[in-house]
Amino acid sequence: MDNISYGFELAKKNFRRGQGAWLILTVCLCAACAFCGCGKESAVRHSLADTAMGTLVNLTFYSGDLSEEELRELEDSLLEEIRGKERELLSWREETSEVFRVQQEMGPGGAFVSEELFELLRECRKVEEDSDGAFSPALGALTRLWNMDGQALLPSEETRVPSEEEIRAALGHCGPDHMKLTEGRLFLEEGTFLDLGAVGKGYMLDRIRKELSEKASASGKSLWGVASLGGSVLTYGEKPDGTPWKVAVADPEEPGETIGYLELKGSWCVSTSGDYERFFEKDGVRYHHILDPSTGYPAKSGLRSVTILSESGFLSDALSTACFVLGQERGTKLAEKYGAGILTVDEGGEISCNEKMEGVFRLWRQDE
Ligand code: AMP
Ligand code: MG
């Protein structure tokens, strides 16, 4: 196999030495953090930090010819677009969203869906098929049962592990056999619900990249920067001084720290899925938010985190979840099928990269 492995202890020890040398833009809740530099003395910079899609959003852009005010307006409009897509398309909780509405309108013949949702679901189906069902957009019955978002906020004595019966019942409404997509219509069996939580942030990164390139080409203005949505990061454009973007990878053992970083030139998407992002503990067992559709329980693939590098935000996000469930070996095969880079951290702290990732990943070392 093309993988390389590093000793995790070494990574952690060395990170602490190099830590002070870098500016971390996003905070510890993010699985991956982006580092950037202006790279041009006359360039203007503007940064926005807020919340949307239930996570932290950080937008930091630079321009050689837009004003700071114009950058601020651009970031405000992108934040509004992220919130708008959640509210109008992606959320299964908000009554205003298409995902919510389509479930209400579901009849025996299915329901018509917008071209946008149809296309997004079609892409999800492809990853579902290629991952042998490790990733599924129709896992809502199970994710609602576990309610990780809610349980993560409760004190341990109030959390509840669903019974095997409940899990079996929910699984009976999950996965590819309970959902059909044909000619602009979606069909969901009764009791089957969509959950696009594994792809929404990556999908939004693709939208942001499109907006940025339209803005840049329409005005002929230079624009470069970084957008991070929770565990998904977009690097956009080239820095004028030619130096690479640096996107840090969180340490699953101590998520406020990082194990190293990716050095990237140009526009890329990086997503991390980890068992430390949302979880609750009961009787000394950690129950995290990435569920294995073959068991109905949090995935136990031997991994603590998966980081995917792809030109597509949708793919980086979908694959990070799918590969976490599949484990190191099968996950690497899936990532390579899509031409993506993959970095895994396993339960023993071992870090592995495929060739594409090896070319850009820098482990914190003593000499840095
Ligand atoms: P991520 O953090 O991108 O890995 O996405 C995790 C979120 O996706 C969870 O909070 C659930 O809403 C949903 N999810 C959990 N397990 C799966 C799975 N196996 N396939 C698809 N979505 C999932
Ligand atoms: Mg994901």
Residue nearest to atom 8 of ligand 1 (CA): 198
Calculate the CA 17 to chain-centre distance: 28
Provide the CATH topology of domain 96-188: T-fold (1.10.3980)
Tell me whether strands 179-182 and 245-250 are parallel, antiparallel or unpaired: unpaired
pLDDT of 10 higher than 80: no
Tell me whether strands 268-274 and 44-52 are parallel, antiparallel or unpaired: unpaired
Q: Hey, which of 139, 174, 270, 344 would you mutate to test ligand 1's pocket, going by the most ligand atoms within 8 Å of its Cβ?
A: 139
Task: Summarize the confidence of residues 339-346 as an average pLDDT.
Answer: 98
Ligand 1 center to residue 291 CA distance, Å?
Answer: 7
What pLDDT shows up at residue 220?
Answer: 73
Residue nearest to atom 11 of ligand 1 (CA): 197
Report the percentage of the chain scoring pLDDT > 90.
77
What pLDDT shows up at residue 53?
Answer: 94
What is 15-89+199-363's CATH number?
Answer: 3.10.520.10
Per-residue model confidence as pLDDT tens digits over 301-316: 999 999 999 999 999 9
In the block, residue with structure tokens 């949307």 = 52
Length of the chain: 368
pLDDT of 272 higher than 70: yes
What pLDDT shows up at residue 113?
Answer: 96
What pLDDT shows up at residue 41?
Answer: 56
Verify whether ligand 1 is closer than 6 Å to residue 102 (CB atom): no
The minimum-distance atom of ligand 1 relative to the CA of 321 is 4
Per-residue model confidence as pLDDT tens digits over 231-270: 999 999 999 899 999 999 999 999 889 999 999 999 999 9
Report the percentage of the chain scoring pLDDT > 70.
88
The minimum-distance atom of ligand 1 relative to the CA of 317 is 3
pLDDT, the chain, mean: 88
Instruction: State how far the alpha carbon of 11 is from the alpha carbons of 4, 86, 216, in Å.
Output: 14, 37, 39
Facing residues of 56 across strands?
51
Ligand 1 center to residue 6 CA distance, Å?
Answer: 28
Q: Do domains 15-89+199-363 and 96-188 have the same CATH topology?
A: no
What pLDDT shows up at residue 11?
Answer: 35
Verify whether ligand 1 is closer than 6 Å to residue 289 (CB atom): yes
For the chain, domain boundaries:
15-89+199-363, 96-188
Compute the distance between CA of residue 212 and CA of residue 147 in angstroms, rounded to an integer.
35
Ligand 1 center to residue 155 CA distance, Å?
Answer: 23
Exposure string over 182-212, b if 16+ CB within 10 A, otherwise e: eeeebbbeeebbbbbbbbbbbbbbbbbbeeb
Task: Summarize the confidence of residues 83-93 as an average pLDDT.
Answer: 95
**Amino acid found at 146:** W
Please, which pLDDT band fits residue 364 given cuts at 50, 70 and 90? confident
What pLDDT shows up at residue 365?
Answer: 63
Please, which pLDDT band fits residue 229 given cuts at 50, 70 and 90? very high
Verify whether ligand 1 is closer than 6 Å to residue 199 (CB atom): no
Please, which pLDDT band fits residue 181 given cuts at 50, 70 and 90? very high
Ligand 2 center to residue 2 CA distance, Å?
Answer: 24
| Contact (CB, 8 A) for 73 and 95 | no
Which ligand has the nearest atom to the CA of 277? Answer: 1
Please, which pLDDT band fits residue 18 given cuts at 50, 70 and 90? very low
Classify 10 as helix, strand or coil: helix
Please, which pLDDT band fits residue 297 given cuts at 50, 70 and 90? very high
Can you give the pTM of this predicted structure? Answer: 0.90
Ligand 2 center to residue 318 CA distance, Å?
Answer: 5
Verify whether ligand 1 is closer than 6 Å to residue 251 (CB atom): no
Ligand 1 center to residue 292 CA distance, Å?
Answer: 9
Q: Which residues contact 104 (CB under 8 A, 6 or more apart)?
A: none
Task: Summarize the confidence of residues 96-125 as an average pLDDT.
Answer: 95
Please, which pLDDT band fits residue 37 given cuts at 50, 70 and 90? low
Verify whether ligand 1 is closer than 6 Å to residue 321 (CB atom): yes
What pLDDT shows up at residue 184?
Answer: 92
The minimum-distance atom of ligand 1 relative to the CA of 230 is 2
What pLDDT shows up at residue 8?
Answer: 33
Residue nearest to atom 18 of ligand 1 (CA): 135
Task: Summarize the confidence of residues 72-84 as an average pLDDT.
Answer: 97
What pLDDT shows up at residue 327?
Answer: 98
